[in-house]
Amino acid sequence: MIKDVRLLFAHEVRGSLRNPFWLLFGVVQPVLWLVLFAPLLDGLMPGGSALRDFTPGALVLIALSSGLSVGYGMLARLRAGVLERLAAGPVSRAALVLAPALRDMVVLVGQAALLLGLAALMGMRANPLGVALTLVLVAALGLLSATLSYALALTARDENGLAQLNATLYVPMLLLTGIILPMALAPGWLQAIAAANPLYHAVEAGRALFAGDFRDGSIPLALALTTGLALLTLRWAITSVRRLAA
Protein backbone atom coordinates (compact mmCIF):
# COMPACT_ATOMS: atom_id res chain seq x y z
CA MET A 1 0.00 0.00 0.00
CA ILE A 2 2.81 2.45 0.84
CA LYS A 3 4.49 1.54 -2.43
CA ASP A 4 1.24 2.11 -4.32
CA VAL A 5 0.81 5.50 -2.66
CA ARG A 6 4.38 6.42 -3.58
CA LEU A 7 3.97 5.37 -7.21
CA LEU A 8 0.61 7.04 -7.62
CA PHE A 9 1.76 10.19 -5.81
CA ALA A 10 4.71 10.54 -8.20
CA HIS A 11 2.28 10.01 -11.05
CA GLU A 12 -0.04 12.74 -9.74
CA VAL A 13 2.84 15.17 -9.32
CA ARG A 14 3.98 14.50 -12.89
CA GLY A 15 0.45 15.19 -14.10
CA SER A 16 0.26 18.45 -12.13
CA LEU A 17 3.65 19.61 -13.40
CA ARG A 18 2.45 19.09 -16.96
CA ASN A 19 -0.35 21.54 -16.34
CA PRO A 20 1.19 24.03 -13.86
CA PHE A 21 -1.10 26.78 -15.04
CA TRP A 22 -4.01 25.33 -13.08
CA LEU A 23 -1.99 25.30 -9.90
CA LEU A 24 -1.51 29.05 -10.11
CA PHE A 25 -5.12 29.55 -10.95
CA GLY A 26 -6.16 28.26 -7.54
CA VAL A 27 -4.52 31.20 -5.78
CA VAL A 28 -5.97 33.91 -7.98
CA GLN A 29 -9.18 34.17 -6.02
CA PRO A 30 -7.62 34.52 -2.56
CA VAL A 31 -5.06 36.96 -3.97
CA LEU A 32 -7.92 39.10 -5.20
CA TRP A 33 -9.46 39.01 -1.73
CA LEU A 34 -6.15 40.00 -0.24
CA VAL A 35 -5.51 42.86 -2.65
CA LEU A 36 -9.01 44.19 -3.13
CA PHE A 37 -10.72 43.41 0.16
CA ALA A 38 -8.13 43.62 2.95
CA PRO A 39 -7.60 47.38 2.39
CA LEU A 40 -11.31 47.87 3.08
CA LEU A 41 -10.90 46.25 6.48
CA ASP A 42 -8.06 48.61 7.19
CA GLY A 43 -10.52 51.46 7.13
CA LEU A 44 -12.96 49.53 9.31
CA MET A 45 -10.46 48.43 11.94
CA PRO A 46 -7.71 51.00 12.21
CA GLY A 47 -4.54 49.97 13.98
CA GLY A 48 -2.72 48.16 11.17
CA SER A 49 -3.59 44.60 12.22
CA ALA A 50 -6.31 44.17 9.57
CA LEU A 51 -4.02 42.47 7.06
CA ARG A 52 -2.61 40.16 9.72
CA ASP A 53 -6.10 39.18 10.81
CA PHE A 54 -7.33 38.72 7.27
CA THR A 55 -4.46 36.60 5.89
CA PRO A 56 -5.33 33.42 7.85
CA GLY A 57 -8.84 33.78 6.46
CA ALA A 58 -7.45 33.98 2.93
CA LEU A 59 -5.46 30.79 3.57
CA VAL A 60 -8.61 28.99 4.67
CA LEU A 61 -10.31 30.33 1.56
CA ILE A 62 -7.77 28.64 -0.71
CA ALA A 63 -8.20 25.41 1.20
CA LEU A 64 -11.92 25.66 0.60
CA SER A 65 -11.99 26.83 -3.02
CA SER A 66 -9.10 24.85 -4.44
CA GLY A 67 -9.83 21.82 -2.26
CA LEU A 68 -13.47 21.49 -3.25
CA SER A 69 -12.64 21.59 -6.96
CA VAL A 70 -10.38 18.53 -7.00
CA GLY A 71 -13.38 16.21 -7.27
CA TYR A 72 -13.82 17.23 -10.93
CA GLY A 73 -10.46 15.70 -11.77
CA MET A 74 -11.58 12.46 -10.12
CA LEU A 75 -14.79 12.47 -12.15
CA ALA A 76 -12.83 13.01 -15.38
CA ARG A 77 -10.77 9.99 -14.43
CA LEU A 78 -13.88 7.99 -13.65
CA ARG A 79 -15.39 8.85 -17.05
CA ALA A 80 -12.22 7.92 -18.89
CA GLY A 81 -12.31 4.51 -17.20
CA VAL A 82 -8.98 5.09 -15.46
CA LEU A 83 -10.25 4.26 -11.99
CA GLU A 84 -11.90 1.09 -13.22
CA ARG A 85 -8.79 0.01 -15.08
CA LEU A 86 -6.66 0.56 -11.98
CA ALA A 87 -9.21 -1.23 -9.83
CA ALA A 88 -8.95 -4.34 -12.04
CA GLY A 89 -5.32 -4.56 -10.89
CA PRO A 90 -3.88 -5.36 -7.48
CA VAL A 91 -3.52 -1.70 -6.44
CA SER A 92 -4.53 -0.66 -2.93
CA ARG A 93 -7.94 1.02 -2.99
CA ALA A 94 -6.90 3.48 -0.31
CA ALA A 95 -3.94 4.58 -2.43
CA LEU A 96 -6.29 5.61 -5.22
CA VAL A 97 -7.58 8.52 -3.13
CA LEU A 98 -4.72 8.98 -0.69
CA ALA A 99 -2.14 9.68 -3.41
CA PRO A 100 -4.07 12.46 -5.15
CA ALA A 101 -5.10 13.89 -1.77
CA LEU A 102 -1.45 14.08 -0.71
CA ARG A 103 -0.64 15.85 -3.96
CA ASP A 104 -3.49 18.29 -3.25
CA MET A 105 -2.06 18.93 0.23
CA VAL A 106 1.35 19.74 -1.20
CA VAL A 107 -0.17 22.01 -3.82
CA LEU A 108 -2.23 23.78 -1.20
CA VAL A 109 0.73 24.39 1.08
CA GLY A 110 2.62 25.79 -1.90
CA GLN A 111 -0.25 28.09 -2.76
CA ALA A 112 -0.45 29.18 0.88
CA ALA A 113 3.26 30.01 0.91
CA LEU A 114 2.79 32.11 -2.22
CA LEU A 115 -0.06 33.99 -0.60
CA LEU A 116 1.97 34.55 2.57
CA GLY A 117 4.80 35.98 0.47
CA LEU A 118 2.38 38.41 -1.14
CA ALA A 119 0.93 39.42 2.24
CA ALA A 120 4.46 40.04 3.53
CA LEU A 121 5.12 42.26 0.52
CA MET A 122 1.95 44.16 1.38
CA GLY A 123 3.39 44.85 4.79
CA MET A 124 1.99 42.07 6.96
CA ARG A 125 4.12 41.20 9.97
CA ALA A 126 3.34 37.97 11.83
CA ASN A 127 4.95 35.57 14.30
CA PRO A 128 7.20 33.23 12.21
CA LEU A 129 6.58 30.14 14.36
CA GLY A 130 2.88 30.93 14.27
CA VAL A 131 3.00 31.11 10.48
CA ALA A 132 4.79 27.75 10.28
CA LEU A 133 2.19 26.11 12.54
CA THR A 134 -0.56 27.67 10.46
CA LEU A 135 0.87 25.93 7.41
CA VAL A 136 0.52 22.62 9.26
CA LEU A 137 -3.09 23.49 9.89
CA VAL A 138 -3.49 24.41 6.22
CA ALA A 139 -2.12 20.99 5.25
CA ALA A 140 -4.72 19.30 7.44
CA LEU A 141 -7.42 21.51 5.92
CA GLY A 142 -6.18 20.47 2.50
CA LEU A 143 -6.57 16.80 3.34
CA LEU A 144 -10.04 17.51 4.70
CA SER A 145 -11.31 19.48 1.72
CA ALA A 146 -9.69 17.26 -0.94
CA THR A 147 -10.94 13.97 0.53
CA LEU A 148 -14.36 15.53 1.07
CA SER A 149 -14.40 16.56 -2.58
CA TYR A 150 -13.32 13.07 -3.72
CA ALA A 151 -15.98 11.44 -1.55
CA LEU A 152 -18.68 13.79 -2.86
CA ALA A 153 -17.56 13.28 -6.46
CA LEU A 154 -17.48 9.48 -6.20
CA THR A 155 -20.82 9.41 -4.42
CA ALA A 156 -22.63 11.84 -6.73
CA ARG A 157 -20.78 10.60 -9.87
CA ASP A 158 -22.07 13.61 -11.72
CA GLU A 159 -20.38 16.93 -12.54
CA ASN A 160 -23.55 18.98 -12.20
CA GLY A 161 -24.43 17.39 -8.90
CA LEU A 162 -20.95 18.11 -7.61
CA ALA A 163 -21.14 21.74 -8.74
CA GLN A 164 -24.39 22.20 -6.85
CA LEU A 165 -23.09 20.51 -3.73
CA ASN A 166 -20.00 22.73 -3.85
CA ALA A 167 -22.00 25.92 -4.30
CA THR A 168 -24.26 24.92 -1.40
CA LEU A 169 -21.30 24.20 0.85
CA TYR A 170 -19.29 27.23 -0.15
CA VAL A 171 -21.56 30.07 0.93
CA PRO A 172 -22.26 29.07 4.55
CA MET A 173 -18.68 27.94 4.98
CA LEU A 174 -17.46 31.32 3.81
CA LEU A 175 -19.93 33.43 5.79
CA LEU A 176 -19.64 31.40 8.98
CA THR A 177 -15.87 31.68 9.27
CA GLY A 178 -15.67 35.35 10.14
CA ILE A 179 -13.36 35.89 7.20
CA ILE A 180 -15.38 38.74 5.79
CA LEU A 181 -16.69 40.29 8.98
CA PRO A 182 -15.88 39.22 12.54
CA MET A 183 -18.35 36.74 13.99
CA ALA A 184 -18.43 38.91 17.11
CA LEU A 185 -20.88 41.11 15.21
CA ALA A 186 -23.26 38.18 14.74
CA PRO A 187 -26.33 37.42 16.90
CA GLY A 188 -26.01 34.55 19.33
CA TRP A 189 -27.74 31.91 17.20
CA LEU A 190 -25.45 32.66 14.27
CA GLN A 191 -22.40 32.40 16.51
CA ALA A 192 -23.67 29.05 17.72
CA ILE A 193 -23.86 27.77 14.15
CA ALA A 194 -20.41 29.15 13.35
CA ALA A 195 -19.02 27.24 16.32
CA ALA A 196 -19.98 24.04 14.51
CA ASN A 197 -17.97 25.09 11.45
CA PRO A 198 -14.46 23.66 11.54
CA LEU A 199 -13.26 26.44 9.25
CA TYR A 200 -14.34 29.04 11.79
CA HIS A 201 -12.00 27.52 14.36
CA ALA A 202 -9.26 27.25 11.77
CA VAL A 203 -9.49 30.98 11.06
CA GLU A 204 -9.54 31.78 14.78
CA ALA A 205 -6.53 29.55 15.36
CA GLY A 206 -4.69 31.11 12.41
CA ARG A 207 -5.26 34.59 13.79
CA ALA A 208 -4.03 33.59 17.23
CA LEU A 209 -0.96 31.91 15.71
CA PHE A 210 -0.14 34.92 13.53
CA ALA A 211 -0.40 37.15 16.59
CA GLY A 212 1.95 34.82 18.48
CA ASP A 213 -0.75 34.02 21.02
CA PHE A 214 0.16 30.34 21.42
CA ARG A 215 -1.99 29.71 24.50
CA ASP A 216 -5.22 30.40 22.67
CA GLY A 217 -7.61 27.45 23.04
CA SER A 218 -8.68 27.65 19.41
CA ILE A 219 -5.29 26.26 18.27
CA PRO A 220 -5.51 22.70 19.66
CA LEU A 221 -9.24 22.71 18.98
CA ALA A 222 -8.77 23.60 15.31
CA LEU A 223 -5.94 21.13 14.80
CA ALA A 224 -7.81 18.26 16.46
CA LEU A 225 -11.09 19.06 14.76
CA THR A 226 -9.57 19.41 11.29
CA THR A 227 -7.45 16.29 11.57
CA GLY A 228 -10.30 14.24 13.00
CA LEU A 229 -12.70 15.32 10.28
CA ALA A 230 -10.06 14.79 7.60
CA LEU A 231 -9.66 11.18 8.73
CA LEU A 232 -13.41 10.69 8.53
CA THR A 233 -13.68 12.17 5.03
CA LEU A 234 -10.65 10.13 3.94
CA ARG A 235 -12.42 7.01 5.10
CA TRP A 236 -15.56 8.03 3.28
CA ALA A 237 -13.60 8.62 0.08
CA ILE A 238 -11.89 5.22 0.36
CA THR A 239 -15.24 3.54 0.91
CA SER A 240 -16.59 5.24 -2.20
CA VAL A 241 -13.69 3.91 -4.28
CA ARG A 242 -14.27 0.43 -2.93
CA ARG A 243 -17.92 0.63 -3.87
CA LEU A 244 -16.84 1.55 -7.37
CA ALA A 245 -15.20 -1.84 -7.75
CA ALA A 246 -17.07 -4.05 -5.35
Partner 1 sequence: MSDLIVEATGLEKTYPVRRGEPVHAVRGVDLDVRAGEVFGLLGPNGAGKTTTVRMLATLTAPTAGSARVAGHDLLREPRRVRERIGYVSQAGGVDETVSGRENVVLAARLHGLSAREAARRAAELLEVFALTDVADRPARTLSGGQRRRFALAIGLAHRPELIFLDEPTTGLDPRNRAAFWQEIRGLRDGGTAVLLTTHYLDEADALADRLAIVDHGRVVAAGTPGELKRRVSGDVITLRVPAADAEPASRLLAAQPYVREVGGDGGGLRAYVGDGDSALPALLRAIEEGGLRVEAISLRRATLDDVFLRQTGRSLRDAA
| Binding interface with partner 1 (CB under 8 A) | 4, 7-8, 11, 14-16, 18-19, 73, 76-77, 79-82, 84-91, 245-246
Indicate the angle between helix axes 93-121 and 128-156, nearest 10 degrees.
Answer: 140
For the CB of residue 241, give the shortest distance to partner 1 in the complex, in Å.
Answer: 12
For the CB of residue 168, give the shortest distance to partner 1 in the complex, in Å.
Answer: 22
Closer CB to partner 1, 78 or 135, in the complex: 78
C-alpha separations of 10 from 99, 112, 174 in Å? 8, 21, 33
Closer CB to partner 1, 82 or 167, in the complex: 82
For the CB of residue 93, give the shortest distance to partner 1 in the complex, in Å.
Answer: 11
Closer CB to partner 1, 8 or 41, in the complex: 8
Please give the torsion angle defined by the CA atoms of residues 54, 60, 63 and 66, in that order, rounded to the nearest 10 degrees.
-40
Closer CB to partner 1, 1 or 132, in the complex: 1
Q: Report the distance separating Cα 102 and Cα 66, nearest Å.
A: 14
Closer CB to partner 1, 38 or 75, in the complex: 75
Tell me which residue of 102, 70, 68, 97 sits closest to 83, measured CA to CA: 97
Question: Which amino acid does the sequence have at 121?
Answer: L
For the CB of residue 79, give the shortest distance to partner 1 in the complex, in Å.
Answer: 7
Q: Cβ–Cβ contacts within 10 Å for residue 11, how many?
A: 13
For the CB of residue 74, give the shortest distance to partner 1 in the complex, in Å.
Answer: 12
At 245, give phi and psi (nearest 5°): -130, 70
